[in-house]
Amino acid sequence: MTIVQNVVLPHDDVRLPLYVESPARTGATPSCVPGIDVRSRHAATLQGGHRFSFATYFNGFPATFWCRLTAVRDVTLRLRLTGSGRVTVYRSDATGAATLVAERMFGATGALAGQDVSSEAVAETAVDIAVALSLDGFEDGGWYWFDLEATNDVELVHGSWDVTEDQAPGRPEAADARTTIGITTLDKPDYCVRTLRALAHSPEAISVIDQIVVVDQGTAKVDAEQGFGEVAAALGGKLVVVDQPNLGGSGGFSRAMLEALEGGSASVLIMDDDVEIEPESVLRAVRFAAACRQPTIVGGHMFDLQHPTVLHSWSETVEQSNFMWGAAAKAAERHDLADSGLRDAEWMHRVGRADYNGWWMCLIPAEVLRRIGLAAPFFIKWDDAEYGLRAAERGIPTVSLPGVALWHISWLDKDDTIDWQAYFHERNRLVAALLHAERPRGGKLLRDYRRLHLKQLLCMQYYAVALRHRALRDVLAGPAGMHASLATALPEARALAEVFPETRSRPIPPGPPVTRASCEPRPGPKGLALALFTLRATIRHLAVPVRASRPQRVLAKGEATWWHVPFYDSVLVEKADHTGVNWYRREPRTFSHLWFESLWLTWVTARRWTELSARYRAAMPDLTDPPTWARTTGRAADPRRERDEGPRRHPA
């Protein structure tokens, strides 16, 4: 038998609702499950007289995913228990409706019934329970899970969901699949060491890891971080540290992809640096990918590191009407599983469409790398979405697999649409559309650009719009310089900030920022009111003289909306991370220049769309080719290196 999913438990109570819950709890806090004492990652003591459900994100079995995408037709739930009680197994359908499918008694009420034994003997006698379950009938949706009812104190020693080896598909790499973990980092050595430690302390994860490649692109080096030596010794020859210039996420991940191909791994599992990993996820992703009928990209979900039970989204898609990424199901966006878990969230019982998975955690089979190439040279933003769309065009699916996840810093704490990253948002979305848009000129994409530029101009975010214009000009220049720009685009974007004083962070002034209760901003205008508002605000920014030179208000980030800020001449806006404020001042001449430049650049882009699309599509095979990336990263094409006893370091 092959374990494809272990029953796991958390290190802290805050995350407990993702692992186990009490169906009978009433009035308890979401993280409170009375009567459970977590002993280790796999074991817990369950107090007698209580019932516990493993109908949770990390411990339910996502049967519909296995049914639809793999050759596996049966799964076996295995539990080792002491004490006495009852195990009940349930299955759900696509609507979330649950049906009891199996029941097992154990201890004095079951396996030991009829024996003259003391309660102490019952408590110390381990009972193995195996429940064979069919995966037929899960095509439309559904999960398996189990509940434990403890008659007296029960020790959950271990639990797992297993499949037989003869159910694996005929793909040769599925037999003994191992992965290369690829972590790209920039000055986050503390996070990296914590991730490495979590992996080193997980035998299940280590069993399917061929090597761990840390691509260090920063100045605060991972191997200089406190605790690195201990972790490196624990990982031994599996750890590789690569030094290379900052080539962004796509540069770092492509380097890890190259290492995976050279090392002979069945896949590469790439992940961000500023995360906390659930190490069990590695085993699950590798085993699921190995069982798939065809090469499949297996992505993990993202939970909010500051709010650990909040799920970012269930799956990600690119909306072709305006070629913009987003959650496939709005109901699943920013959903708190502590408030509404697997039993209550109907959408969790279906697979859901996924055009791509975020590269916060994503497993890509080596066969896919060989067929469609490595990442597009995007630096950051849209490289994951473009890759998923490219794979789909070659018949390679992407799935975001429940139970495979990590915790990541939320986007809500970042200003990445108005700082230097605005350049990459604009350029890479447009290039991805030129490559993969199904509608002429990307549907409403260019209209969205004009609207976004105007909104940012009305908010006096001139730097962000100047960056977006630079991005458009670079796209119009063609694809030839994309690899070369990996090393130059970021410093150039940051240098441009010196021209715009609103980019300088200032200390937060005394007193609270204006809040919704005190300033009561209007909700966003719609329909005819929106058109009239936009016209009025635009005329004001073009023609009305500036009357206020000193800040008129201090606004919290959430209050600095594009329909509130435009009627100030000077305003302080709190940064998303609450570390300071930015001072925005109205400049009619700058507004006029940038607005008319926006109209001109989007018109030229629309006029040249067909030609540009053909050029970028023709260039894509070379841009993503492993030898091209090897030259860009400075990766020598050495033969596979021998394993050694300690961490390896490879300069670029």
Tens of pLDDT along 148-183? 999 999 999 999 999 986 655 544 445 578 999 999
Q: Where residue 23 falls among pLDDT bands split at 50, 70, 90?
A: low
Predicted pLDDT of residue 28: 44
> What is the spatial distance between Cα 284 and Cα 286, in angstroms, rounded to a whole number?
6
Tens of pLDDT along 227-248? 999 999 999 889 999 999 999 9
> What is the spatial distance between Cα 14 and Cα 36, in angstroms, rounded to a whole number?
14
The residue behind tokens 């639990």 is: 159
Stretch 109-127: mean pLDDT: 52
Q: Where residue 334 falls among pLDDT bands split at 50, 70, 90?
A: very high
Tens of pLDDT along 187-196? 999 999 999 9
Predicted pLDDT of residue 580: 87
Percentage of the chain surpassing pLDDT 70?
A: 89
Q: Where residue 417 falls among pLDDT bands split at 50, 70, 90?
A: confident
Residue 410 pLDDT exceeds 90: no
Residue 110 pLDDT exceeds 50: no
Stretch 415-441: mean pLDDT: 95
Q: What DSSP element (H or E) covers 592?
A: helix 588-607
Higher-scoring residue by pLDDT: 329, 405: 405
Which residue spans within 529-603 are E strands per DSSP? 553-555, 570-574, 581-585
The residue behind tokens 């937060």 is: 508
Token couple for 67: 């049914």
Backbone angles phi, psi at 427, to 5 degrees: -65, -50
Of 22-26, 310-314, 410-414, 576-580, highest mean pLDDT: 310-314
pTM, two decimals, is: 0.91
Predicted pLDDT of residue 604: 98
Query: What does DSSP say about strands 154-163 and 44-46: parallel, antiparallel, or unpaired?
Result: antiparallel
Residue 114 pLDDT exceeds 90: no
Tens of pLDDT along 254-301? 999 999 999 999 999 999 999 999 999 999 999 999 999 999 999 999
List C-alpha distances in Å: 337 to 135, 333, 334, 344: 25, 11, 9, 9
Residue 27 pLDDT exceeds 70: no
Stretch 347-352: mean pLDDT: 93
Higher-scoring residue by pLDDT: 90, 410: 90
List, as one string, the DSSP characters of 223-260: GGSTTHHHHHHHHGGGEEEEE----HHHHHHHHHHHHH
> What is the spatial distance between Cα 546 and Cα 390, in angstroms, rounded to a whole number?
49
Predicted pLDDT of residue 19: 97
> What is the spatial distance between Cα 64 and Cα 577, in angstroms, rounded to a whole number?
40
Residue 21 pLDDT exceeds 80: yes
Coil, helix or strand for 103? strand
Coil, helix or strand for 52? strand
Predicted pLDDT of residue 121: 45
Tens of pLDDT along 528-582? 888 898 999 999 999 999 998 888 888 887 788 888 899 899 999 988 878 889 9
* Domains of the chain: residue spans and CATH: 2-167 (3.90.550.60), 172-299+354-403 (3.90.550.60), 426-515+547-606 (no CATH)
Helices assigned H by DSSP within 520-576: 527-543
> What is the spatial distance between Cα 60 and Cα 284, in angstroms, rounded to a whole number?
13
What residue type is assigned to position 595 of the chain?
Answer: W
Active site amino acids: 384
**Segment among 327-331, 356-360, 422-426, 491-495 with least mean pLDDT:** 327-331
